[in-house]
Structure 1
């Protein structure tokens, strides 16, 4: 019996290692080829660089106009996430504390909206925002707020179901109003869920290309994914610079994930199970 358990454990370990190799393989290609010249990438894509070069990184940094594009990506991502965390948490709190058919119906509508593909509303959405002259950075943030609210409210609502209403009642007896109850008691308890919402949406907003390409049409407002498109011309593709730019672009979001990862699993489980 013990031998069978050990064999099963070793089998899971081997399977995990094999799956991790498949998962890390694309990252290996990106990292290794970012240190090669353009010619060497086509000659030897899979192998290590024969003469490693770091010149791709400063060239990619300049071609990206990194300072400007980084600022645009940062302000769009941070502002959108701030709006989402405030609006979604307050909406979920109101829905979770008001018992009735209306609240259940509103929550059901938000949950169903997660199933609507963006491509089905893409054209009318851009048309409506364009008619009100609400494109570029401000319009993009409002669109992200609407598109990300469903999942965020779903996570917050699930977490709030695990927080007893007795906490609210005790705070109200002590003299707090509803906003103070939410601000000083409920919101701190929702910290793991808030971190989960931040990370999930930050990864989406930071790496998104489709929606910004449709909304942003002014010079000086392009995000990092939009700037990376310029490495792929009609007649030539600068893979050596594109891969180096990709490494530069993912570093900020990887750093954010590393600092917040301990809250992510707990936040997802709170929002989906309770």
Structure 2
């Protein structure tokens, strides 16, 4: 969606929350500059509670992510894709859009360079942006048919071995139909967003963010015939742990649950989404080209 450009006295977003990667060098000064910029645009600025707590900021009102819905119009994330993953999962389904500003390395989700924020962020706050809706995965871990964990994932749900233990054996069913037994280092269930993360390093394809599908990617499978596959968006995938020591399931690599033989992980597309806002000049292909160092055609192409 491309919003019309309003005049400078109008704002598409009036209440703006700032989220920062508080472990990053120089984050305090960067956030102060960002708050000054947003305040100068006539917006009310809030700090996300964990960011404020870790950095000791007290000059702005504080809100937890759980309280953003209905109280915050826009969230500006300063950091990397990991920071965006964390806050994105918390805001799923809350109808609060996010803007990502990277502090050095271009991200797939944090795609606005810090050097360009003085120009681009005022345009977005004025209403000049492209909206990009992303799906999430809803995963449930079942032990003897009882739910022991439920989590959302914006990138992926990964069942794998931990430490130096051997291969795991997994049985995979999709919509109740048996797909295969697989011996491997693990299995990745990925959204299109996550197709450029762990799934890519494991040999999976890149899915455009607007592709409606769920990606299954084996991790170092014992049989080379176990290949990545893209499933329909309404698929329900059940992964059963048949055998293996120290097996875990990760959700966006930010939380995990230890598994036992017989445990099942049921994964489906969540009914919750999040929305990223990009500058009007945003191109997914440009981001891929820069991140993956693809060769460029001459400008006359």
TM-score interval (norm. to shorter): under 0.3
Structure of greater relative contact order (alpha carbons < 8 Å, 6+ residues apart):
1
TM-score (norm 1): 0.26
Greater percentage in strand? 2
- Between Structure 1 and Structure 2, whose CA radius of gyration is higher? 1
